[in-house]
Amino acid sequence: MEPKYKRIVLKLSGEALAGDQGYGIDPNIVNSISSQIKELIEMGVEVAVVVGAGNIWRGKTGSELGMDRANADYMGMLATVLNSLALQDSLETYGVQTRVQTSIEMRQVAEPYIRRRAMRHLEKGRVVIFAAGTGNPYFSTDTTAALRAAEIEADVILMGKNNVDGVYSADPKLDATAVKYDTLSYLDVLKDGLQVMDSTATSLCMDNHIPLIVFSLLEEGNIKRVVLGEHIGTVVGGVNS
């Protein structure tokens, strides 16, 4: 089957990398993601990845504990680099050529983010992992995913989750009456305050007509199913949203 999307941004939360242990990096989860990404590369799909850091550090949590918000956010950006390097190492054990590009320069471990270079890597079949957020405090990795998707002209953002299989009207773990949405507009997300992405990321996706698909990472092969066009999870946005 031909893939529906030719160039994607895969957004992984830090919690997704932690698996059931809830913190740190679960090698089994990372290897599963790497094997699925390898399948996409073999299909000719161009893959960029943005990784969060909730498994290591959350800037917002540090701020709530009394830390300076900018310092707390910079710590979170550095934590995303740890996750990115772990994913890079796993991908390369599968024979996938990979580049990590960081918004905060650290040339000994990664390339600085340069848009044209990132696009060239993608054209050559390399996976590009965008680390260190946008390089600015007060912006989430969700916003990073939206920004990078717009910059590299990605067809879609795939948001892989480890604790939910789509977008619900309420937390399904706390509310048995919560309803799962098959499709949503970005205006619906903003109006109803749904916890899909933060409002900055949501607005950026809406303004640039970038669709978002929220799905579960726990089921092996789900990334490939989404790329092939199978309707799983929740589709958010698009040209008419």
d(CA 144, CA 52): 10
- 139 is annotated as contributing to ligand binding: yes
100-131: burial string, b at 16+ Cβ within 10 Å, e else = bbbbbeeeeebbebeeeebbebbeeebbbbbb
How many CB atoms lie under 10 A from the CB of residue 72? 20
- 137 is annotated as contributing to ligand binding: yes
- 168 is annotated as contributing to ligand binding: yes
- 141 is annotated as contributing to ligand binding: yes
- 12 is annotated as contributing to ligand binding: yes
**By the 8 A CB rule, do 202 and 189 touch?**
yes
- 135 is annotated as contributing to ligand binding: yes
- 134 is annotated as contributing to ligand binding: yes
- 138 is annotated as contributing to ligand binding: yes
Sign of CA dihedral 40, 149, 119, 14: negative
Nearest to 60 by CA among 198, 169, 203: 198
- 54 is annotated as contributing to ligand binding: yes
- 73 is annotated as contributing to ligand binding: yes
Q: Which amino acids are annotated as binding site for ATP, given as ranges?
A: 11-14, 54, 58, 162, 168, 171
Q: Which amino acids are annotated as binding site, given as ranges?
A: 11-14, 54, 58, 73, 134-141, 162, 168, 171
Q: Which amino acids are annotated as binding site for UMP, given as ranges?
A: 73, 134-141
